[in-house]
Amino acid sequence: MAQELDTKQIALLATHGFEQSELEEPLIALREAGAEVAIISLEAGEIRGWHDGDWGESIPVDATIDEVDARGFDALLIPGGVLNPDKLRMNPAVVEFVHAFFAQHKPVASICHGPWLLAEADVIRGRKLTSYGSIKTDLKNAGANWMDQEVVVDNGLVTSRNPGDLDAFCAKMLEAFKIGTQKGQVASPERHRAQRDGSKRPRPRA
């Protein structure tokens, strides 16, 4: 897969409490494949990971959510960690950013607790996916067809359960990101709550 993604711009969305391995291993795989990856978060500076029950290493943020637009990227990666998606899904601009990738038929990969954010964006109704087992009910209630498999691929949506699935997750992520847009990758037909409430949309990327 070396350099097969050298024209791709990937958004990696995370904040404090991301699961260290679930960010680092896909990030390495993407960069080895030639992709340019931007770490996007709620605030500028650095975000700190979570590893083996304690705080792990920090990574620099490339852009804040208010500085980007989904139109500037080819695909989206959302790592897990309990704290990470729970913080992200409380931010309307983040939720709208995620929703936009589905509206634009772009591939999205998410692992572990990451699909929590997909549920908040209302983009998983009728979609096949997996996740960490403890959020299974939340995803089913959001309309997903939840499956207990190491990796599930559904028209550009790639999901896995936990760090033990990372090899399979990374392989399918690279395949989906190489393919690019897929007609079956769609957002909910309903307008997202953030739009109905008049929330500010992320500014176009410079």
Report pLDDT digits (tens) over 5-64: 999 999 999 999 999 999 999 999 999 999 999 999 999 999 999 988 889 899 999 999
Q: Which residue has the tokens 């080819």?
A: 74
Look at residue 195 and tell me if it is in a domain.
no
Q: What is the pLDDT of residue 169?
A: 99
Is the predicted pLDDT of residue 203 greater than 60, yes or no?
A: no
Least confident of 99-108, 130-139, 154-163, 193-202: 193-202
Find the CATH number of the domain harbouring 176: 3.40.50.880
Question: What share of the chain in percent tops pLDDT 70?
Answer: 90
Which is it for strands 46-51 and 54-60: parallel, antiparallel or unpaired?
antiparallel
Look at residue 77 and tell me if it is in a domain.
yes
The catalytic position among 16, 99, 105, 112 is 112
Look at residue 184 and tell me if it is in a domain.
yes
Look at residue 37 and tell me if it is in a domain.
yes
Look at residue 135 and tell me if it is in a domain.
yes
Closest CA relative to residue 8, chosen from 26, 34, 32: 34
Q: What is the pLDDT of residue 20?
A: 96
Residue 99 a catalytic site member: no
Residue 112 a catalytic site member: yes
Look at residue 3 and tell me if it is in a domain.
no
Q: What is the pLDDT of residue 187?
A: 74
Q: Distance (Å, rounded) from C-alpha 167 to C-alpha 124?
A: 24
Q: Considering the entire predicted model, what is its pTM? A: 0.89
Residue 108 belongs to domain spanning: 9-190
Q: What mean pLDDT value characterizes the chain?
A: 91
The catalytic position among 16, 113, 170, 192 is 113
Q: What is the pLDDT of residues 165-195, one digit of tens each?
A: 999 999 999 999 999 988 888 876 544 444 4
Look at residue 64 and tell me if it is in a domain.
yes
Q: Domains in the chain: how many in total?
A: 1
Look at residue 200 and tell me if it is in a domain.
no
